[in-house]
Amino acid sequence: MARDRAQLPRSGTTAPPGLARQHDQRRTAFAARGGLVAESVPRAVHPAAHARGLRARPAPARPDQPAVEIGAGVVKLRVDGLSVRFRLPGAVVHAVTDARFELREGRCLALAGESGCGKSVMAHALLGLLPGNADVTGHAWLGPLDLVAAPEKVLARQVRGRMIGLVPQSPAAHLTPVRTARDQLAEALRELGRTEAPDEVAARAGLRPQDLDRYPHQLSGGMAQRVANALALAGDPPLIVADEPTTGLDRPLVDATMAELRRLCDEGRAVLVITHDLRAAERVADDIAVMYAGRIVELSEAGAFFAGPRHPYARGLLDALPTRGFVPIPGQPPELTRLPDGCSFQPRCAQATPACEELPVMSGKGVACHHA
């Protein structure tokens, strides 16, 4: 391992072209480039896409589903009945079911829940980054554009990086190790057709010019996070999606990362934070959406949520925090291939009654529970 580290290029040197090309060929869809992805990434298929001709159209009314309106300001993103299924041999994974929420400019929505509940799948569905075995239904309106029905060419050339900036999970792992931060940011700006200098964009993310001349292995965790933020901001997008931005970070760095995202929000951007860390969410969020087994079960303003969550699962999440008693939720979440017909939380819920054998509907008050 020490020998491999010694062979990494030093600051101010250029990596061998062959090595750089080899890494670029191996990069995944989430590598650097400010949230841009290669057009060869398999596109999940919307079942009605061919019939609709893939044109943006007004969102349909849903009188059977009460609207939950929180906050003020212009709606930047409206998710309406979004569902994601993964087809596997002999099984179907119900990763996201009938998700509905709005995200407004100048506000941060934290989508919270245990690992595996469908949070990141939701984010990837918005960006068209799901694998080919995914079936996506419903709508996600970014202005007049339905992201679910949009073709890959539109997502790659108009949406990723320009309309939505992605801050990926573990940002250091998504930076090209043999190229400086400056090179990667300059490339993102070129691909986006932007005229700003890398230093100018980096300054918006709290980076100094000399920071850009470092390679990823020379960056601290906080510095790598800022480089990821700079890449996400390269196209000056009005919407930022941060996917588990605090994973693997110590608490001071978590706080710094949340402060950076809060700053982006205060500048007028809409910010969607995917997180399992409610302490981090409390620092940054204006609104909270709690997900369990693929469904949003509570949606409310952050102040009201942390003062008194209404769904039993949401209360359990808060009670499990070290600062609130460290009481774990009993049992395990259901398998997403075998969801019950009624409330998925019923087997773990102390309030469960026979009524819970029927699926609860999200009320106009923002909670999907028969007893809330």
Q: What pLDDT score does 246 carry? A: 86
Print burial letters for 287-304: b (CB count within 10 Å at least 16), e (below 16). bbbbbbbbbbbbbbbbee
Average pLDDT over residues 172-193: 95
Q: What pLDDT score does 189 carry? A: 96
Q: Could you tell me the pLDDT band of residue 251, with boundaries at 50, 70 and 90? A: confident
Residue 367 lies in a domain: no
Q: What pLDDT score does 206 carry? A: 85
pLDDT above 70: percentage of residues in the chain: 81
Q: What pLDDT score does 65 carry? A: 56
Residue 279 lies in a domain: yes
Contacts of 112 (CB under 8 A, 6+ apart): 119, 275, 276, 277, 278, 281, 288, 289, 290, 291, 317
Q: What pLDDT score does 256 carry? A: 86
Residue 255 lies in a domain: yes
Q: Which of 30-34, 60-64, 242-246 has the lowest mean pLDDT?
A: 30-34
Q: What pLDDT score does 248 carry? A: 79
Q: Is the confidence at residue 136, as pLDDT, over 50?
A: yes
Q: Is the confidence at residue 71, as pLDDT, over 60?
A: yes
Q: Is the confidence at residue 364, as pLDDT, over 80?
A: yes
For 307-361, the pLDDT digits (tens) are 999 999 999 999 999 999 899 999 999 999 999 999 999 999 999 999 999 999 9
Residue 108 lies in a domain: yes
Q: What pLDDT score does 40 carry? A: 32
Q: CATH number for the domain including 339?
A: 3.40.50.300
Residue 112 lies in a domain: yes
Print burial letters for 327-353: b (CB count within 10 Å at least 16), e (below 16). eebeeebbebeebeebbbbbebbeebe
Q: What pLDDT score does 172 carry? A: 85
Q: Which of 38-42, 82-86, 132-136, 200-204 has the lowest mean pLDDT?
A: 38-42
Q: Is the confidence at residue 367, as pLDDT, over 60?
A: yes
Residue 368 lies in a domain: no
Average pLDDT over residues 148-171: 94
Pairing, β 239-243 against β 270-275 = parallel
Q: What pLDDT score does 103 carry? A: 97
Q: What pLDDT score does 73 carry? A: 73
On average, the pLDDT of the chain sits at 84
What is the rounded distance in angstroms from the CA atom of residue 162 to the CA atom of residue 42? Answer: 20
Q: What pLDDT score does 95 carry? A: 98
Residue 68 lies in a domain: no
pLDDT above 90: percentage of residues in the chain: 70
Q: Could you tell me the pLDDT band of residue 66, with boundaries at 50, 70 and 90? A: low
For 87-123, the pLDDT digits (tens) are 999 999 999 999 999 999 999 999 999 999 999 999 9
Average pLDDT over residues 132-145: 97
Number of domain units in the chain: 1
What is the rounded distance in angstroms from the CA atom of residue 105 to the CA atom of residue 268? Answer: 6
Residue 67 lies in a domain: no
Query: Residue 170 belongs to what domain range?
Result: 19-57+75-357
Q: Is the confidence at residue 1, as pLDDT, over 80?
A: no
Helix (H) or strand (E) holding 262: helix 251-266
